Amino acid sequence: MLRITEIGTETLRVEGRLTGPWVDELRRLCAGRSGVRQLDLSGLTFADIGGAALLKELAAGGVIIRDSSRFLDQLLRGGEA
């Protein structure tokens, strides 16, 4: 399960597990909101390979990833958790 909450006009809070169809949902939401500049991952507990790839893609495009866990930090750096 994944919960995505709009915080202000530029930030989305992502909570739960970023897997399977939820990866496409987050991609769709970010693409549909040109003002998304930050993702608050403080409540994100897991991301599968597709989820990690999307987060890397968004970060490369200028979206600020903040408050992620050590596990997610390792995934985003390409290391093992």
What distance, in Å, lies between the first and last C-alpha atoms of the chain? 21
Contact 45, 72 (CB under 8 A): no
Q: What is the pLDDT of residue 63?
A: 92
Q: Whole-angstrom Cα distance, residue 49 to residue 5?
A: 22
- Reported as a single tens digit per residue, the pLDDT across 17-33 is 999 999 999 999 888 76
With a cut of 90, say whether residue 35 has pLDDT above it: no
Pick the CATH number of 2-77 from 3.40.50.300, 3.30.750.24, 3.30.460.20, 1.20.58.1000: 3.30.750.24
- Reported as a single tens digit per residue, the pLDDT across 36-76 is 899 999 999 999 999 999 999 999 999 999 999 988 888 88
Q: What is the pLDDT of residue 79?
A: 58
Q: What is the pLDDT of residue 64?
A: 93
